[in-house]
Amino acid sequence: MNEMVKEWIDKAEGDFSTALREYRARTKRNPDAVCFHAQQCVEKYLKACLQKNRIPFAKTHDLAVLVKACLPLNPLWESWIFDMDTLTRYAVLFRYPGESATANDAARAMRFAASYRHEIRTALGLDKA
């Protein structure tokens, strides 16, 4: 596996672990952090997929843009666009004062991250982990 692809995957896994750890916290759970790291996980997995297939991509947090770049490889991923728009908002929406994620936002973000992580790992030929 290309070293850059491996690095994207490692970083995605780090974000997934952080989101999951925070989501499972018994005290002082931070839904903002869950949402942010769930979004980052999916973003980095999409970039790993693009990198593996030598498809250039811009520096962006917009997951719909990244999914659309993957469509020549995985046309069925077009059905992900609506969820990606929701998850993309989590990259910045809850990072600043004035907005806070709820427990429901965190649960939704984790469902999205777990599901899309699994699908992208499969597309990359990785185990289900």
Mean pLDDT (the chain) is 94
| 39-49 tens-digit pLDDT | 999 999 999 99
Q: Whole-model pTM?
A: 0.94
Alpha carbons 22 and 32: distance in angstroms, whole number:
10
What domains are there in the chain, each with its CATH number?
3-123 (1.20.120.330)
> Exposed/middle/buried for 14, CB within 10 Å: 0-12, 13-18, 19+?
middle
